[in-house]
């Protein structure tokens, strides 16, 4: 197994300001990380990681076949799930119901609106990955601009790499006490060009390449905000670029959410040169996510039959046409229902009433396009998918990763030298 280069560091001057505590105002120097360039590095995984990675790719391919050939609506379902979980990692807390309301223009939370933007950004980056390298700065910048649209503070910095120092944790005003300080802004463009070249390679196992690209992106932290959500989108986008997927989105952020601290700890392992641990973890997360998503596919595939049994619609009726459309388009208004069923508004309202009475549709409120409804079973399955992945969180770490995390925790809890 080849050793991956750990971060090095440089000490840089800090221009003090009048903000923050006295310690912030007198802060003068800080340490910034220097990631290695990786575009030409050799990658050799351990035998165990190679085995797990191959199994994960096989599971992803099977899930993709289900989404592309058997159950096309699964792709949209997985996109919504990935956006919700990826946003929750950043403490942007929404729910399937809130997302449904926001989608149809009903007053909802800022978190739901932000999560919708995350879904659009994920979809954008993965779609460009079908034709071009998703790590191209123009592709990343475009997805980042989509993500930042609802954010009046940070959208002015979107669609461009940062030109200021950022950091994670510690003070709000200076890098004092930061948990991690990404590279200085003057290094970002070169590192991002190197990441682009790394993602262009075809000699690497695709899932290992996607995992490393994600970790390297998070380490560079090229934007002022939104790095986590764009970096996780990049993981799926690289899989699309390498041809591992053609339709499915691996709901891997749900696996990260199952143990958020572990995810961040193993990003730290990557930065310490333990890339194999991180790739193994990503492969195990992908396996868990694919197993749970396959169960969701089975559940979703059975819903239209259950709905027909509950409603007992006439052949060719508006109610039957709506039932047949709900799996792929689980949200509707009376106007949308009339379009999908090719019927009059009154016939659409009558059909909606039947579906609501049978428990197929839930009234989710009134918005800019009138009263709105959602297929409740589809919304519920989003939460069920996350619960399934949470139940398998104990399977996401191999013994070496457990040992690494235990060692890091022991170091963090040990008293400092006097």
Residues of the binding site: 225-232
Q: Where are the alpha helices (DSSP H) in 206-274?
A: 206-220, 227-241, 252-258, 260-271
| Separate counts of helices (H) and strands (E) for the chain | 17, 5
Q: Is 158 exposed, middle or buried (0-12, 13-18, 19+ CB in 10 A)?
A: buried
What is the residue whose two structure tokens read 């508004």? 345
Euclidean distance between CA atoms 162 and 178, whole angstroms: 18
Contact 373, 361 (CB under 8 A): yes
Chain-centroid distance of CA 161 in Å reads 20
> CA 218 → CA 137, 143, 214, 231, distances in Å?
15, 15, 6, 6
Query: Would you say 94 and 358 are in contact if contact means Cβ atoms under 8 Å apart?
Result: no
Residues marked active site are found at 221
List residues bridging with 346 in a β-sheet: none
Binding-site annotation: residue ranges for ATP: 225-232
The token duo for 52 is 């797990």
């Amino acid at each position: 197994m080849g050793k991956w280069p750990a971060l090095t560091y440089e000490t840089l001057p800090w221009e003090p300001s009048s903000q923050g505590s006295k310690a912030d105002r007198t802060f003068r120097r800080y340490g910034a990380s220097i990631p290695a360039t990786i575009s030409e590095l050799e990658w050799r995984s351990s035998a165990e990681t190679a085995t797990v990675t191959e199994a994960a790719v096989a599971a992803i391919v099977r899930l993709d076949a289900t989404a592309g050939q058997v159950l096309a609506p699964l792709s949209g379902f997985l996109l919504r799930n990935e956006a919700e979980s990826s946003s929750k990692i950043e403490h942007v807390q929404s729910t399937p119901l809130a997302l449904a309301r926001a989608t149809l223009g009903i007053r909802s939370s800022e978190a739901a609106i932000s999560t919708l933007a995350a879904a659009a950004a994920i979809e954008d980056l993965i779609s460009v990955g079908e034709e071009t390298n998703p790590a191209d700065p123009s592709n990343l910048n475009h997805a980042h601009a989509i993500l930042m649209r609802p954010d009046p503070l940070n959208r002015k910095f979107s669609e461009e790499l940062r030109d200021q120092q950022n950091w994670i944790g510690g003070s709000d005003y200076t890098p004092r006490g930061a948990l991690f300080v990404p590279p200085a802004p003057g290094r970002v463009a070169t590192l991002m060009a190197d990441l682009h070249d790394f993602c262009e390679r075809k000699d690497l196992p695709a899932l290992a390449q996607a995992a490393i690209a994600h970790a390297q992106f998070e380490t560079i932290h090229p934007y002022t905000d939104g790095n986590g959500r764009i970096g996780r989108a990049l993981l799926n986008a690289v899989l699309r670029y390498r041809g591992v997927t053609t339709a499915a989105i691996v709901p891997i952020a749900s696996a990260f959410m199952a143990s958020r601290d572990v995810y961040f700890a193993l990003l730290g392992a990557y930065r310490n040169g333990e890339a194999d641990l991180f790739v193994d973890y990503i492969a195990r997360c992908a396996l868990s996510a694919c197993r749970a998503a396959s169960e969701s596919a089975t559940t979703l595939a059975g819903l239209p039959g259950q709905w027909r049994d509950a409603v007992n619609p006439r052949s060719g009726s508006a109610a039957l046409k709506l039932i047949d459309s709900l799996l792929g388009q689980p949200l509707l208004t009376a106007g949308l229902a009339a379009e999908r069923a090719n019927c009059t508004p009154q016939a659409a309202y009558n059909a909606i009433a039947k579906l609501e009475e049978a428990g197929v549709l839930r009234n989710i409120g009134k918005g800019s396009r009138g009263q709105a409804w959602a297929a409740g079973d589809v919304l519920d399955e989003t939460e069920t998918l996350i619960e399934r992945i949470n139940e398998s969180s104990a399977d996401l770490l191999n013994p070496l990763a457990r040992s690494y995390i235990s060692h890091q925790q022991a170091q963090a809890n040990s008293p400092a030298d006097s």
